[in-house]
Chains A and B, each alone.
Chain A
Amino acid sequence: MAMLEVTNLSISFGGLRAVDDFSITINEGELYGLIGPNGAGKTTVFNLLTGVYKPDEGHILLGGKDITGQKTIEINREGIARTFQNIRLFKEMTVQENVMVGLHNQIRYSTLASIFKLPSYRKAEKEMRERSLELLKVFDLDKEADTLASNLPYGKQRKLEIARALATNPKLLLLDEPAAGMNPNETIELMKTIRFVRDKFKMTILLIEHDMKLVSGICEELTVLNFGHVLCKGETKEVLNNPEVIKAYLGE
């Protein structure tokens, strides 16, 4: 079953057509890669999918439901969560609190309950702590639960961002250059983590990446963007051997 179905998505900024006629179909449980040279419009696609920009044309269907033009928070509630190219953590909050913010819409209680510390507050808060700790354990971050997010080393900050996104209980996870700035060892570990997330949470994942080792290592299918157009799409091996892709992206 198709988890994400995007048809003919387009957006222009002034005279620049940043994304033009972009279509993609991602099946449930698939690990899908979106690659392309700098400025090809990859992050713009992410911003369109998460409602940061409203598309000029086209439709976005998530699990068969049309979510085109909805606001970011509504889209998150529908089930798309993302990470950012330049890490965006809640820096002055602890690692665990970051994940607890992700659980915001999963576990609820009223403002009055929190001001008067009613039983519903205690119960929900306990559940939040337990669930956030479980998630942190998955990413091997549970020992740093009380550390300030800004004090984490770079690789762990990336992991924390993924954990926070997963806390919102998404159907589709968007990862924007998860391996950016990582050393080869960290990248290998990240590949394991991403694969593990997909298997454990039965998650559908769409990722943008420049690191070809990572892309060829974990992605099952790829779409290549160039100047806002889809250059080609298909199975990873085929796409990476396509002469046009090599020319546009990897150099001649």
Chain B
Amino acid sequence: MKRLLQSKETKKTLITFGIVIITYIIVEILMLCGLLSNQLQGLLVPICYYVMLAISLNLTVGILGELSLGHAGFACVGVFTGTVFSICMQNVIAASWIRFALAIILGALFAGIVGILIGLPVLRLKGDYLAIVTLAFCEIIKNVINVIYLGKDSQGLHISTTDTTALGMEPEGVVIIKGAQGVTGMPQDANFTIGILLILITLFIVLNLVHSRDGRAIMAIRDNLIAAESVGINITKYKLMAFSISAALAGAAGAYYGHNFNNIKAATNNFGYNMSIMVLVFVVLGGIGNMRGSIIAAVLLTLLPEMLRGISEYRLLIYSIVLIGMMLFNWSPKAQAWKEKMKVRILGKLKKNQKEVQ
């Protein structure tokens, strides 16, 4: 155990995992005691989804150092590939957990592939330009899904971009994607436990990647591209790696989220640029490159608007004040100095206590 805790990074990672698991246990206990309102219980799956999105976006923004505004687009790809798979396989794979796991993997795979396809041309751009292109991509994905009609009958899948009748299906066929009306009829397999499990997997992948040779190469590109190239790092390869892994994890999150509803649409409010920016806000407020911060920000900022529903008129006002407050607390030099000071003081006390015990 002692050897395991030797490295600082491992310790930090374990603490982050610990926080997630303890939160899970507390929430489960609260649910068992009936202390959690229905409204809050309904929020658990979305919160897990946003946490996953925030962690995966932090890989692009914090570790790779590129501003991407298209993260909701990758989640959208995950939602639709995952749910379509589940509906098609509903009668083929009986065990819901296998079907769900496969749906999530497929969602991740598709989003990852889209990530590579988008990344290849887009990662040549930098800064603002990259942000603009990813933003446009997100809108395009949403609009493309809105015109797709997909149905299934005994002959297989039918696809059209006009309407349901154009699918030319047998009478007993099922329409899976109904254009702007979205996907209907997927099994609602998503629950809080699976969400926490997925958060842990996402964290595991991202943190292990960051603390490896590949992660260091990605951070080196972020810190100084020319120097990274001069020590023999393949810029394109590592940029693409970070971008596509980030996209794949968003796709997995999307596939999970899609199974929370009976019907899901690629609407502006859930997969538009607003959503991408909201996830970016989680990342920025939680601290760029800081995974633990992303998780906390995602949870707080998803809960807050819902908690404030009672005072509906002032909801957004309070939300924005909290945003500003968090921004000041996390980013102002004075607040940072204060945090450092508190950290030193607390650690110093702990060490003193330890010495006294010895």
Specify which chain B residues have a CB less than 8 angstroms from the CB of A167 in the assembled complex: 231
Which one, A98-106, A188-196, A239-247, is touching chain B?
Answer: A98-106
The answer to whether residues A89 and B229 also contact, given A101-B216, A115-B209 and a CB cut-off of 8 A, is no
Specify which chain A residues have a CB less than 8 angstroms from the CB of B281 in the assembled complex: none
Specify which chain A residues have a CB less than 8 angstroms from the CB of B289 in the assembled complex: 92
Partner among A116, A146, A168 whose Cβ is within 8 Å of the Cβ of B208:
A116
Interface members, chain B 227-258 (any A CB < 8 Å): 227-234, 241
Specify which chain A residues have a CB less than 8 angstroms from the CB of B208 in the assembled complex: 114-117
Interface band, chain A: 35 or more
Interface band, chain B: 20 to 34
Closest CB pairs A-B (n = 8) = A114-B212, A76-B232, A88-B227, A90-B223, A101-B220, A105-B232, A72-B229, A88-B224
Closest A-chain residue to B230, C-beta based?
Answer: A82
Q: Are B219 and A104 in contact (CB under 8 A)?
A: no
Known A92-B223, A115-B208, A167-B231; further 11 A-B contacts with Cβ < 8 A: A89-B223, A89-B224, A92-B289, A93-B220, A101-B228, A104-B217, A107-B213, A109-B213, A114-B209, A114-B212, A146-B8
Specify which chain A residues have a CB less than 8 angstroms from the CB of B342 in the assembled complex: none
Question: What distance in Å separates the Cβ of B89 from its nearest Cβ neighbour in chain A?
Answer: 27
Is A91 interfacial (CB 8 A cutoff)?
A: yes
The answer to whether residues A101 and B226 also contact, given A93-B219, A111-B241, A114-B212 and a CB cut-off of 8 A, is no
Q: Are A77 and B232 in contact (CB under 8 A)?
A: yes
Question: What distance in Å separates the Cβ of B59 from its nearest Cβ neighbour in chain A?
Answer: 12
Q: Are B231 and A104 in contact (CB under 8 A)?
A: yes
Q: Can you list 10 A-B pairs, Cβ within 8 angstroms, ordered by A? A: A73-B233, A89-B224, A90-B219, A92-B223, A100-B213, A104-B233, A115-B212, A121-B212, A167-B231, A168-B231
Is B205 interfacial (CB 8 A cutoff)?
A: yes
Q: Are A168 and B232 in contact (CB under 8 A)?
A: yes
Is A165 interfacial (CB 8 A cutoff)?
A: yes
Closest A-chain residue to B232, C-beta based?
Answer: A76
Give the one of A88, A90, A109 with max B CB within 10 A: A90
Specify which chain A residues have a CB less than 8 angstroms from the CB of B217 in the assembled complex: 101, 104
Question: What distance in Å separates the Cβ of B11 from its nearest Cβ neighbour in chain A?
Answer: 13
Hey, what's the 0/1 contact readout for A32-46 against B, CB within 8 Å counting as 1? 000000000000000
Closest B-chain residue to A114, C-beta based?
Answer: B212
Query: What is the CA–CA distance of A88 and B83 in the complex, to the nearest angstrom?
Result: 47
Question: What distance in Å separates the Cβ of B340 from its nearest Cβ neighbour in chain A?
Answer: 13
Q: Are A104 and B223 in contact (CB under 8 A)?
A: no
Q: Are A88 and B226 in contact (CB under 8 A)?
A: yes
Is A81 interfacial (CB 8 A cutoff)?
A: yes
Is B214 interfacial (CB 8 A cutoff)?
A: yes
Hey, what's the 0/1 contact readout for A100-141 against B, CB within 8 Å counting as 1? 111011011101001111000100110010000000000000
Closest A-chain residue to B217, C-beta based?
Answer: A104
Question: What distance in Å separates the Cβ of A110 from its nearest Cβ neighbour in chain B?
Answer: 9
The answer to whether residues A100 and B226 also contact, given A164-B231, A167-B231, A168-B232 and a CB cut-off of 8 A, is no
Is A227 interfacial (CB 8 A cutoff)?
A: no
Question: What distance in Å separates the Cβ of B40 from its nearest Cβ neighbour in chain A?
Answer: 34
Specify which chain A residues have a CB less than 8 angstroms from the CB of B231 in the assembled complex: 76, 81, 101-102, 104, 164-165, 167-168
